[in-house]
Structure 1
C-alpha cells in the first residue's frame, strides 16, 4: 500500500470515528432535551389540583401547529381539534400524534360531524368537508353571510334530532345590536336552511334565530337523558351595582342557560345573581323596557363573574367515577379585567333530577396569583371514556382519567 493510500485510510478512519462521536453527542443532547422537556411538563402538571382518584396528563402538544380551541370526535373516535389562529383543523391518533386535515380556513372554531361529513364554523359561516376515504375533501361553503367582528369565533354542533346550531356573539360589550342575528343561537336544518323558533309565512324569509339575549354562547350541549339544551354564556364587562357607580369585580356573574325556543336570556339589560336563583336583575346603567327582566329567562345556574365559560360536556358516557356521571364539566377560559383574575379552571356542574344545582371545582392551578400559565377552552369525553381538555395558552391537549 502506498503512503498516499495509507494516509487516506487513516483520514477515513478518523472521519468515521468523528462521525460516530458527533452522532453520539447529538443523541445525548437530544435525550437530555427530551428529559428536560418531560421534567418541565411534569413540573407544570404537578401544579394542577385534581380530586382524589383522578389524574391529569398531557396527551398531546400541538403548539407548533397553533393554539387549540374546540374539540370533536370523528367516526372512528379520533380527536379533532380546531386551531383558530392558524386556520387549521387537526386529527390526533390514539397516541396524540397530529395530522392536518384542513388548512387555510377563516378562524375555524366549532367542529361537528353531519353524517360522515365534517362541518367547520368559520367567522362568517360554516363550511362542509365531504367524506373522502379516510379523510375529507376540500371545504365547500354551506351556511353563509354570518356577521363577523366583535365576538367573531363561532361554534357549530348537531343536535340529537339532527338540526345544526350555531352561536353568533355580540358585536360589543353592552349595546342594542343593529343586526338581530347578533347575540343569538341559530338553528338550521340538516341541508343548511334556516329553521328558527319563529315560523314565517308568505314572502318573508324564514329566520334562523332560535334564542336571543346571549352575549356570547360558545359552548352548548344537550342533556343525554332529557335532550334539554344547555349553553354557557359570557356576561358583560365593566359593570356596576349602582347608577354611575364603580366597576364591580363580581358583576355580572356568567350564566349557564337552559335554552328553549324563542326565549330571551337577558343581555344586554339583565343578569342573574348567585343568591337569587330564578330571577334576573336590571343593569342600572343600561335599562330597557320596565319589565324586560321579568320577561326574560333567568339562568339555570350562575358561574364566577368574568371567568369566561366556554366548552361544556356531560360525563354520562365517561369512565370517570360513577358519582360524576350525571354531571357536566365546563371549561373556564379566564378573565381579563378583574382586579383578582377568575377562571382558568374546570368546573364540575352537579345535576340532580336532570337539572344543575351547583358548580364545584374539578381542576384548578392554571392561575398562580395574578398570572395564568394555562387557559382551558373546550372539554369532551373521548372514545376511550376519558375527559380531554384543550388549552390555547400552552398549546396542549390534556387527558383526565381515573387512577384505579
Structure 2
C-alpha cells in the first residue's frame, strides 16, 4: 500500500516533494453547483458531477478533516467519516457530518484519540464498528457521549507501528454468517533480509507465528460476540485494505502489490478469496512470475499451490476500496463494481468501474487496456484483465485548478449518490447526477 510514509530516510525524502505539493495545491471552485454542493473541477463520466461536501479549497483553506478515509451513512442527513489524523500517534478520530438543505455541512468529532482508524461499518447487531491499528471496536454514535460506549470487539491484532511495520491499517468485513474477516498486512514490501527465510526456505513474515500477510477469520458467537481465537482464512496477501463481500457471498480483494521502481510493473491484483488458498506474497507477482528475491519459487508460482489473481489491475494503481453500486441515481452503473485507485503515479487518482458476473467478479476482456494520465490507454499484455469505465476520467494534476486525486473510501448514499474521500486533499466528495 502506498498511502503513508515509507520506511527509511531515503524513502521519506522521496515523498517530501509530494507531501509539500499536496499541502500547497488545492481545488478551485468555479461558483457552480453540483446537487446543492460547490462543484469541484473533477472531470466525470457523462451525466455526473463532483460536489464538495467538506474540505480545503483555494477560496477556503480550512482543513477540518486531516486524513479522511472511510464513510458510513447513518440517515439521509448524517454521515460518519474515519480520519487517520496522522500516520504517527493516537491522533485519529471519527467525525459526524450533518448536511443541510442549503448545502451547509457541520462536522463534529464523536470519537478521538484513535490509532489509525480506517474501516467503518454496521455490524449484525446494528452497532457501528471501527477498525483501529491493532483492534476493532464498536460504539453507539447516538449516545450522549459516544466515547463512553466504545467496546473492544477484536484485540491482539499486530501492533503495526508505522516505522516498524509497512501496512498498519485494519480492514474488516462481515461475512454472511456474521463472522469477521480481518486484514493483517505484510510487515515489509518483499520479505527480504538476513532473517527473511525460515529453515524450510519460506518467508518468515508470512508463514511464521504472526500470521501476517493474511486474512483472519473470527467466528461469530451471537449476541454481538466473536471468538477471541481466529483461523487463517487465506495467506499470501500483501495488503487487503480493498476488501468486499458481494450479495452472492463472494469475497473479493484488491491487492496492493510490490513497490517495484518500474512505472509499469508489477500489476495490482483482484483476487477472489477462498478458504485455505495462498495468493502468492512474497513469492509471486502478476499471474505467476517469481519475485526478484524469490526466484527459487518459480515452479511454486506456476503450481496449483499458488492461487493466481482473477484479474490484473493497472500497475501501482493502489486500490483502497470497492463496492457494487446498488443505487437508483445512475442506472448505467447498476450492479457494477466500483473501485478507488489511490496511487500517486500516472495510473492512480481515479474511481473505476467494471461490469461483473453473477458472483460480482469482472470478466476479462480479449484486449484489455488501462488509462494513463497524459498517455491515453495502454495495453496490459499477458494476463487476465478488463478495461474499466471511469467515473473520473479527469482527476489528474491541473495546476491552479486541482491536485491529482487520491480517492480512498466509497459509499452509496440512500439517494444513489456516490460519496468518496480524498485523504491527501482532505476532502469528502459527493458524486451526483448533473442536472
Same-fold call, TM > 0.5? yes
Of 174, 187, 193, the residue aligned with 2:227 is 193
Contact 2:318–2:343, Cα closer than 8 Å, also in 1 = yes
Give matches, 1:1-400, under 5 Å.
38-39=29-30, 47-61=41-55, 63-74=63-74, 78-85=78-85, 86-95=91-100, 96-114=105-123, 115-130=125-140, 133=143, 136=146, 137-147=148-158, 148=160, 149-175=165-191, 176=203, 177=205, 178-190=208-220, 191-193=225-227, 206-224=229-247, 226-238=248-260, 247-272=261-286, 279-287=287-295, 289=297, 290-294=299-303, 295-315=305-325, 317-335=326-344, 341-354=346-359, 355-357=361-363, 358=386, 359-368=388-397, 372-400=403-431
Contact 2:51–2:430, Cα closer than 8 Å, also in 1 = yes
CA positional deviation for 1:325 = 0.8
Contact 1:344–1:364, Cα closer than 8 Å, also in 2 = no
**TM-score w.r.t. structure 1 length?**
0.76
Change beyond 3 A, Cα 1:282–1:132: same
Contact 2:66–2:426, Cα closer than 8 Å, also in 1 = yes
Deviations for 1:169-220, whole angstroms, at most 9, x for unmatched residues? Answer: 11100012144421111221332215xxxxxxxxxxx533211111011021
CA positional deviation for 1:368 = 2.1
Change beyond 3 A, Cα 1:103–1:130: same
In the other structure, the counterpart of 1:401 is 432
Looking at structure 2, the residues matched to 280 and 128 of structure 1 have their Cα atoms a distance apart, in angstroms, of: 40
Which of 1 and 2 has higher RCO (CA within 8 Å, sep 6+)?
2
Change beyond 3 A, Cα 1:37–1:323: closer
Which stretch has the larger CA shift, 349-358 or 133-142?
133-142
Looking at structure 1, the residues matched to 296 and 210 of structure 2 have their Cα atoms a distance apart, in angstroms, of: 16
Deviations for 1:299-350, whole angstroms, at most 9, x for unmatched residues? Answer: 12111111111010110x2124323212111111113xxxx53201111122
Q: Alignment partner of 1:160: what SS?
A: coil
Q: Alignment partner of 1:52: what SS?
A: coil
Change beyond 3 A, Cα 1:280–1:37: closer
CA positional deviation for 1:141 = 2.3
Contact 2:219–2:230, Cα closer than 8 Å, also in 1 = no
CA positional deviation for 1:104 = 1.0
Size of the alignment, in residue pairs? 338
Q: Alignment partner of 1:91: what SS?
A: strand
Looking at structure 1, the residues matched to 167 and 31 of structure 2 have their Cα atoms a distance apart, in angstroms, of: 34
In the other structure, the counterpart of 2:200 is none
Looking at structure 1, the residues matched to 127 and 316 of structure 2 have their Cα atoms a distance apart, in angstroms, of: 36
**TM-score w.r.t. structure 2 length?**
0.71
RMSD: 2.8
In the other structure, the counterpart of 1:28 is none
Bigger radius of gyration, 1 or 2?
Answer: 1
CA positional deviation for 1:363 = 0.7
Q: Alignment partner of 1:368: what SS?
A: coil
CA positional deviation for 1:356 = 0.5
Provide structure 1 residue ranges, at least 5 long, that are not aligned to the other structure: 1-35, 195-205, 239-246, 273-278
CA positional deviation for 1:372 = 4.2
Contact 1:329–1:349, Cα closer than 8 Å, also in 2 = yes
Change beyond 3 A, Cα 1:179–1:390: farther
